Amino acid sequence: MAETIDMNSDGTVRDLGSETRVLHVVYLLHALAPFTAWLLAVIAIVVGFIKSDDVRGTYLESHYAWLGGAFWWALMWIVMAWVAFWAITLLTLGVGAIVMWVVPTIAYVVLFVWYLYRVIRGWLCLSENKPVE
């Protein structure tokens, strides 16, 4: 992996190699998250929250924002799909559950594809030492 050098706003040069390696681990955690009931995404978000101050003002900051946005949007859609499922189930006294299991299943599949797209796209930008746009 090539060394990552960045110039600070005060003109000093800064080596971002260790921060880039941490970000690769965060991307790996996010990539594996759909296969672990999103538990690894929670760990990755915590690590990202802790490390994001270390990269403030660099192109790496955009990667933490990108992954954070993907996580929070995914969480919102998971919650909305399950609320819809349980609302229909309760309103139809359980009869709708037979049909409505399709809603969270479709939502999860779409979310899975979208989430992995976001992770892969961001990871490719990181490997090229570019910000995510």
State phi, psi for 65 to the nearest 5 degrees: -65, -40
14-41: pLDDT as tens digits: 788 999 999 999 999 999 999 998 999 9
Q: Which two tokens stand for residue 14?
A: 């800064």
Q: Are 34 and 46 in contact (CB under 8 A)?
A: no
Give me the pLDDT at residue 12, please.
63
Residues with Cβ within 8 Å of residue 52, at least 6 apart in sequence = 61, 64, 65
Whole-model pTM: value is: 0.84
Query: What CA–CA distances, in Å, run from 117 to 47, 55, 122?
Result: 21, 24, 8
- Chunk the chain into consecutive blocks of 10 residues (it has 133) and report each block's average pLDDT, rounded to whole numbers: 56 80 97 94 96 92 96 93 83 76 83 96 96 93
The residues pairing with 5 across neighbouring beta strands, listed in sequence order, are 15
